[in-house]
A and B are shown apart, each in its own frame.
Chain A
């Protein structure tokens, strides 16, 4: 389902300052699989997620999702691909703090110009699923870290995407909330979604729901 072929990602940070974030990465992730990308900070885990979500392009190599070559997609098609197939949970949640929970969650639906009823149905589904219905009219900036994360997951799931990508999802959470996040992931996996989590949190290692753990070190797969 997701295939990374000979991926190389180079960042040019300035003159004579070239960083190779990913070096010859080859990866295959099948439908419904839960994969943990583990490694220290700066190992290249987040870069792999960005490439799969078509948020950035590889310097060389290809990323294929459902045989579609997403690494070559023009900008607008990449946006369509993200909207339809990807739910991305960012490390810092990337919510808009001055907007309400409801407004943040339905943001991916705004350009789709759907009927109000359809939007309301989708919203209710994720509000119930992630237990944040009672907070829907509150401003996101007034929520706790755990609540903000649930809003971020709800936003990532509003379009019912086939692929969930999570970048260091428990980095800002205590153990109790991290365990709660794992429960949410279990639920998403039970729905048949492919899930890739980039993390260095030991809580995820050796979990029975995890299908595969991939070690990334200095931009290479071990």
Chain B
């Protein structure tokens, strides 16, 4: 092994010396490893969470309808007339218009809100997830529903394993049987969506057959979305028209706010890192200086000393990097980022539990690597370089 490394020009004895040097100063090395690992762990956790959230929001935005038409009365959202669909379909450029029946249902046992979505067998679904569910849902049975995986988990905890009794606005109950579980395109979908037939949903919300929550409109040419939205607004001046772009902006605002909090955490951790680096770069202990002086006096070159210091810095920082990354991966994706995730989900206690999707890209790992390891190695080498370029006689004294 040693001879093989020698062939590549690696001086294994200097490497051995560096490892021994770290072991000789075991408390100092341990302290630096712990601090570096903690900082890399924090940085990596922040990056992993923001990446996951970004991915999740992007997926959510991608699955959004192009235009949503809502009925507004006195500034509040009201049920819309399904007959309006025919008029909207006549607008040129519109490829489809579907009435949506959906709403929130408060699940008291878990203290969370679920989203009930009603679908019809033969209508064109505005989401891929719904299209998949429509293929499996038994529309002949008006008392069946399909639950998102997260919803199923919440219901299981309260022993609702076969059916659930929804309380209707008039106080009576509607029993709906659980016929299946789905995994949505996004975690948000899986965690709070219940899908059933439109007639069941209308019954639970006490909604008339001719009414819907809103209408989603598909436009064949994305460049015409704004024009079609203006035409619908012209047709129904009292309605609120929300385009995909409007939703994108509102999601982005939420993300920006959240990532701002993470940015603050990121800055704090980097600041701490640089304080340590500054402390390390500002000088060596007299013992460390003496050791460099001895090495110079017995024939080590400046580059031999720097090589040894490089190995020391590289070994310690690479170890801390790998450990920090593994811990961050476990913290974010296995333990669901306790405390840190609350910063993201904390704005709504009524949201169901949110699982961060696993997103790991080389750029993030490289960014953390280059933000920490070279800086730490430089901080190790620079003061050693300063000492090793002095006259050995002066350093030993």
**Which residue of chain A has the shortest Cβ distance to B388 in the bound complex?**
A75
**Which residue of chain A has the shortest Cβ distance to B395 in the bound complex?**
A55
Known contacts A96-B294, A111-B14: does B394 contact A82 (CB below 8 Å)? Answer: no
**Which residue of chain A has the shortest Cβ distance to B307 in the bound complex?**
A111
User: Are B299 and A111 in touch, CB under 8 angstroms?
Assistant: yes
- A-side contacts of B299, CB under 8 Å: 79-80, 82-84, 86, 108, 111, 159
User: Hey, what's the 0/1 contact readout for A159-200 against B, CB within 8 Å counting as 1?
Assistant: 100000000000000000000000000000000000000000
Q: Is A18 an interface residue (CB 8 A)?
A: no
- A-side contacts of B295, CB under 8 Å: 107
Q: Is A155 an interface residue (CB 8 A)?
A: yes
User: Hey, what's the 0/1 contact readout for B295-320 against A, CB within 8 Å counting as 1?
Assistant: 11111111110000000000000000
- Bound-state CA distance A98–B20 (Å) is 10
- Bound-state CA distance A24–B291 (Å) is 33
A-B contact count (CB 8 A): 78
Please give the distance in Å from B25's CB to the nearest CB on chain A.
8
- A-side contacts of B17, CB under 8 Å: 110
Known contacts A57-B391, A110-B14: does B303 contact A96 (CB below 8 Å)? Answer: no
- B-side contacts of A80, CB under 8 Å: 299, 301
Scan residues 114-166 of chain B and give those whose CB is less than 8 A from a CB of chain A. Answer: none
User: Are B302 and A75 in touch, CB under 8 angstroms?
Assistant: yes
User: Are A56 and B301 in touch, CB under 8 angstroms?
Assistant: no
The one of B2, B3, B290, B296 that contacts A79, using a Cβ cutoff of 8 Å: B296
- Bound-state CA distance A79–B298 (Å) is 8
User: Are B393 and A55 in touch, CB under 8 angstroms?
Assistant: yes
Q: Is A66 an interface residue (CB 8 A)?
A: no
Q: Is A67 an interface residue (CB 8 A)?
A: no
Q: Is A116 an interface residue (CB 8 A)?
A: yes
Known contacts A96-B291, A98-B24, A110-B14: does B392 contact A55 (CB below 8 Å)? Answer: yes
**Which residue of chain B has the shortest Cβ distance to A139 in the bound complex?**
B24
Please give the distance in Å from A9's CB to the nearest CB on chain B.
10
User: Are B300 and A79 in touch, CB under 8 angstroms?
Assistant: yes
User: Are B303 and A82 in touch, CB under 8 angstroms?
Assistant: no
**Which residue of chain B has the shortest Cβ distance to A161 in the bound complex?**
B299
- Bound-state CA distance A88–B298 (Å) is 7
Q: Is B106 an interface residue (CB 8 A)?
A: no
User: Are A111 and B300 in touch, CB under 8 angstroms?
Assistant: yes
The one of A75, A82, A98 that contacts B389, using a Cβ cutoff of 8 Å: A75
Scan residues 89-141 of chain A and give those whose CB is less than 8 A from a CB of chain B. Answer: 90, 94-96, 98-99, 103, 107-111, 113, 115-116
Q: Is B11 an interface residue (CB 8 A)?
A: yes
**Which residue of chain B has the shortest Cβ distance to A100 in the bound complex?**
B20
**Which residue of chain B has the shortest Cβ distance to A83 in the bound complex?**
B299
- Bound-state CA distance A215–B134 (Å) is 106
- Bound-state CA distance A153–B17 (Å) is 21
Known contacts A88-B297, A108-B298: does B303 contact A99 (CB below 8 Å)? Answer: no
- B-side contacts of A90, CB under 8 Å: 297, 396
Q: Is B271 an interface residue (CB 8 A)?
A: no
**Which residue of chain A has the shortest Cβ distance to B300 in the bound complex?**
A111
Please give the distance in Å from B38's CB to the nearest CB on chain A.
27
- A-side contacts of B302, CB under 8 Å: 75-76, 79
Please give the distance in Å from A102's CB to the nearest CB on chain B.
12
User: Are A111 and B11 in touch, CB under 8 angstroms?
Assistant: yes
- Bound-state CA distance A212–B6 (Å) is 46
Q: Is A216 an interface residue (CB 8 A)?
A: no
- A-side contacts of B20, CB under 8 Å: 99, 103
Q: Is A53 an interface residue (CB 8 A)?
A: yes
Q: List 12 A-B contacts (CB under 8 A).
A: A53-B297, A55-B297, A55-B392, A56-B393, A76-B301, A79-B296, A79-B300, A83-B298, A94-B294, A95-B294, A110-B13, A111-B14
Lowest 7 CB-CB distances: which A-B pairs, in order?
Answer: A83-B299, A55-B393, A111-B304, A56-B393, A79-B301, A98-B24, A108-B298
Residues of A within 8 A of B (CB): 50, 53, 55-57, 75-76, 79-80, 82-84, 86, 88, 90, 94-96, 98-99, 103, 107-111, 113, 115-116, 155, 159
User: Could you list 7 further interchain pairs (A-B, Cβ under 8 angstroms) beyond the known A56-B394, A83-B299, A110-B304?
Assistant: A56-B393, A75-B301, A79-B296, A83-B298, A90-B396, A109-B13, A110-B13
